[in-house]
Amino acid sequence: MSTQRIDLCQTSDLPELFERFAEWYRFNPRMRERDYFDWQFKDAPTRLADGEFDFLVLRENDEIVGCLGFTGFEFRSDGAIHIGGWTHNWYAPGRRDGGLALMFRFMELVDNRFIFCFNENTARVFSLLRVPMIAAVPRWWAVTNAELALDFFQFESSDRAVVSRSAAGMKRIDGTRRIRSVERFDPDEEFTLAHFAEGLNGARRTGQYLNWRYLDIPRHRYHAIRGDRGVGICRVETIMDHDVSVIRIVEWTFDDDECEAALAYVLREHNDVKPLLLDFHCASRLPARGLERIGFMPQSATTKPMPDLFRPMNYSGGHALALDFPPHRTTRAIDFDRWYITAGDSDVDRVKL
């Protein structure tokens, strides 16, 4: 008879765990690199577990057969600061009970739980637990060249006007306000969201948090910019087997006064990588209003959706999001439009192969 147990990961577990990762996450070799693992599960500004790593391993007959990582963080909600936790790398192939046991152990560690990008099986579990969720976080995109984009992404003729309108907007943008690159943020500074709306919720974007999440992550290259009060962070992703790229915006807190200049700065600084597409995922529509005025389109704007995966190019259908706050296992509603949650939260934006 097999026996299962769940333990917090220790250094002595890593050789066996990384062997499993070679199979489970074969398209993400970063997961098997010690400095990357330390960065994500040991060096985060907010820790949730009293162990070496914020990472659970599921063992069956003393062999690792599943895992669940998590990252703690501070967030603002309704004017107060709370502690929450994201899940990462929840995987227990063929072991439904073990997978549930991993999630329940995580739930014991933190009351405010954030889950980004999950499948239909997970959605069914959350439905039973009465966890509020949405099937896809809203996404906006813009193209720099209409004719190339129409051909490259094989849009329907009925979508020509939308794609052309986006490209025309990109050509009109003007960078007259002062925007500058940031090598590192002041750890004590916080970029709040009050200029979008009072009470807009989300992870505290302190300098300490932004430095850890984007500027300290091993072998990833993010470009951070700022204005008087807004901040933007993006990275470049080449489209597999092509010489054009996508600029993936993961933070964007510029108001209407700074938005156009900030986008002009991004395009100017990345002209050498031949950007064809820019995109931005955010649960709240408020930070995207300035982008829409310039030429960004919601994912639903075209008959044929814009691809959202590019290595290789594909359509994922979007990233599901679940927010589980007290009182748990109680039917309740959450206004996801009041939450600034982007692809930079959780591990959706981490670079794969």
- The whole-number pLDDT of residue 130 equals 96
Q: What backbone torsions phi and psi does residue 220 show, to the nearest 5 degrees?
A: -125, 145
31: left (phi over 0), alpha (psi -120 to 50) or beta: alpha
- The whole-number pLDDT of residue 176 equals 75
- The whole-number pLDDT of residue 276 equals 98
Q: Report the C-alpha dihedral over residues 353, 312, 247, 349, rounded to 10 degrees.
A: -50
3-class DSSP state of 47: coil
DSSP state of 342: B
- Residue 301 CB contacts under 8 Å (≥ 6 apart), including other chains: 162
Q: What is the pLDDT of residues 56-92, one digit of tens each?
A: 999 999 999 999 999 999 999 988 999 999 999 999 9
pTM value is 0.95
User: How far apart (Å, rounded) are the C-alpha atoms in residues 315 and 312?
Assistant: 10
User: How far apart (Å, rounded) are the C-alpha atoms in residues 117 and 297?
Assistant: 22
- The whole-number pLDDT of residue 36 equals 95
- The whole-number pLDDT of residue 1 equals 52
Residues of the chain with pLDDT under 70: 1-2, 352-353
Q: Which of 120, 54, 127 is nearest to 85 (CA)?
A: 54
Q: How large is the greatest C-alpha to C-alpha distance in the chain, in angstroms?
A: 70
Kindly write down the DSSP assignment for every residue of 51-78, as one continuous string: SSSSEEEEEETTEEEEEEEEEEEEEEET
Q: What is the pLDDT of residues 90-134, one digit of tens each?
A: 999 887 789 999 999 999 999 999 999 888 888 999 999 999 999
The angle subtended at Cα 33 by Cα 31 and Cα 34, nearest 5°, is: 115
- Label residue 70 exposed, middle or buried (CB < 10 Å: 0-12, 13-18, 19+): buried
Q: Is the dihedral of CA 295, 299, 302, 307 positive or negative?
A: positive
Structural domains in the chain plus CATH codes = 4-137+319-340 (3.40.630.30), 139-314 (3.40.630)
The angle subtended at Cα 119 by Cα 117 and Cα 121, nearest 5°, is: 140
